[in-house]
Amino acid sequence: METKRKIFKPRNIFLLTATLVLLIVTLAGMISIGKNYTVWDFQKSNPETDKPVVTESRTNIVKIEDTSIKKVNGYYSIAIRIQSVNAGETTITIKNNDSDTPIKYHFYVLPLGIIFEGNNFFNSNSNCYTILLPSVYIFILILTIFLVMKYREKRKKGEFSYSLVAIGGVILYFAGNILTFLILYLNVLLESLPLDGTKLNIFMFMNVPAILNLLAQSGTIFAFISCPLLLLFALAVSISNISLVRHEGFRPLNLLGIISGIAFVSGLLVILFMATRDFQGSEQQYKLFSTINIALSFTFCYVECMLLSTINCSFMATRYKLSHNQDYIIILGCAIRKDGTPTPLLKSRIDRAVDFEREQFEKTGRHAFFVPSGGQGPDEVVSEAECMKNYLIEQGIARDRIIPEDKSVNTFQNMKFSKAKIEEHAGNLKNVNIAFSTTNYHVFRGYILSKKVGMKAKGLSAKTKLYFYPNAFVREFIGLLYEEKLRHALFIVSIIVLFIIFMLFGT
C-alpha cells in the first residue's frame, strides 16, 4: 500500500497526466502542420522571365502544390510548397537558367507524413519544429511545476537535505530556460522575417542542435538576468568579511566571503565577455569556442543555482517550526573558553535548546533529554560535552536528563555518536523524535549530516552576530559542494558532454 501512495501522489498524477496530454497535442500538431513544407530558393535572375525547371526524383513521396515568386532586396525567391504523399525519400531539383549547377533539396517523409528537409534527421528542417520547440519548453514548465510541488512538500515536512538543494537549483535553472524561451521565441515570432508582405517564422528553420543550443545558452541568459543579484551578493559578503576581520582578526578562513565574491564576479565577467564576443575564425575554431562557451556558461549557471538554492534552503531551515513533542535534543559542540566555560557561540546553542525544552514542557508537560555532543581538543581543559553539561546544570536541568557524548571531533561524528547514545538510552529510534541545536548558519548542514548517519532530526536555530553569518554560510556552502563533489562533477560533466556531442554531431 505504501508504494501505491507514493505513485498516486497529486504531483505524480499531475506530471503523468500533463505529460501525456502534451505528447498527444504535440504529435497531433506536428502531423497537422508537418505534412506541408515550403522550399525557398533565392535567385539573382527574374524567375518570371527565366523560369527554372523543378523536378522530383520520386513523384509518389511528395507533390508540389503551389509555386509563388517573391522579390526581397533585389533578389527573387521561388517558394515551392509541397505536401507529403507517402513515407520515403525524394529529391527536388531546381535548374536555374543563370546557373549550370542545379540546386537539389533532399527530403524524407516519416510514416505519419511529416516532411523533413536535410541530409540527416538530426540536422534537418521541418515545419514541425514550430510545434516541437514550444512543446519542449512547456514540458520544462510541467517539470518545474512538479518540482515546485515536491519542493513545497519536503519543506513542509522539514526534510532539509541535499536533494532539496538539488531540486531548488533545478527549478531555478528551468525557470531561466523558460524565461529565455519567452524572451527569444516570442520576440522572434513577433518580429519574423518579412518577405514582400509575407511573414516567415524563423523557427521553421530550426533543428535539433539549434534547440539544444538554445537550451545550453540559457546559462548565459541566466547570468545576464541574475547579474544584479550576484553583484549584491558579492558586495554583501565582502562588507561582512571586513567587519569579521576587524572583530575576529585576520585569518585566511575569515576571507572566504571576499574570495567567493571575487570568484563569482570574475566568472560573471568571463561569461559576459564570451557571450558578447564577435568570434572570427575557422569552423573548427568556432566549434571549440562554442564548446568552451557552453561548458563555462552551464557550469557557472549550475553553481550559481546551487548557491541561490542553498541560501534559500539554509534560510528556511532556520525558520522551520518544530513540534513540541521532542524526546531528545542534541546540542552540537564548538570551541570552549580556556577556563572550560562555553563561548558566546556555544552558549547561544545551549540556551536555544533549553528555551525550546522549557517551552515544550509548558505547552505539553513533556520533558526532553539533552545530548551535549563534543570531544576534548588539545587546547581544551575539558570536553565540550562536559562544558555544556555543567552549563545545563547551572540552568536548572536535572543530571538524569543529560546524556553527554564526549568523543566526537566534527559535526558528522556529533550526529553519529549522538545517535548511538540515543539508541543505547531509548532502545531504538523508531518512535523517537529528535532535535538538534546549533548556530543558524550551521542548521542546514546539521540536517544533511543527520540524514547521512540515518537519523531523522529537526534543527533548532541559535542566533549569531550578523557580520559572522555571511562568511560562515560561504564556508558551509563550500562544505556542501565538497561533500557531494563527485555527484556535482558527474552531473556537470554529463550535461556538458551531452550538449557537445549533440552540437558537434548536428553541425
Count the neighbouring beta carbons within 10 Å of the beta carbon of residue 113.
Answer: 18
pLDDT digits (tens, 9 = 90+) for 306-315: 888 888 888 8
pLDDT digits (tens, 9 = 90+) for 192-226: 444 343 444 444 445 666 666 666 666 677 777 77
pLDDT at 141 over 50: yes
User: Is the sign of the CA dihedral 495, 496, 497, 502 positive or negative?
Assistant: positive
How far, in Å, CA of 247 to CA of 232, rounded?
23
Q: Which of 110-114, 272-276, 342-346 has the highest mean pLDDT?
A: 342-346
Long-range CB contact pairs, 105-113, < 8 A, 24+: 105/39, 107/37, 107/61, 107/62, 107/82, 109/61, 109/62, 109/84, 109/85, 111/87, 112/27, 112/30, 112/31, 112/34, 113/31, 113/34, 113/35, 113/84, 113/87
pLDDT digits (tens, 9 = 90+) for 248-266: 667 666 677 778 788 888 8
Buried-exposed string 86-108: b where 16+ CB fall within 10 A, e elsewhere: eeeebebebebeeeeeeeebebb
Residue 330 phi/psi, 5-degree rounding, is -85, 135
Report residue 240's pLDDT band, with 50, 70 and 90 as the boundaries: confident
Whole-number percent of the chain with pLDDT over 90: 28
Instruction: Answer yes or no: are the C-beta atoms of 462 and 438 closer than 8 Å.
Output: yes
Q: Show the domains of the chain with their CATH numbers.
A: 36-113 (2.60.40.2020), 328-432 (3.40.50.620)
Nearest to 95, CA basis, from 41, 59, 40, 48: 41
How far, in Å, CA of 90 to CA of 409, rounded?
73
**What confidence score (pLDDT) does residue 297 get?**
78
Nearest to 323, CA basis, from 109, 506, 488, 157: 157
Q: Which residues contact 468 (CB under 8 A, 6 or more apart)?
A: 240, 244, 248, 441
Reduce the DSSP state of residue 488 to 3 states and report it.
Answer: helix
How far, in Å, CA of 353 to CA of 233, rounded?
31
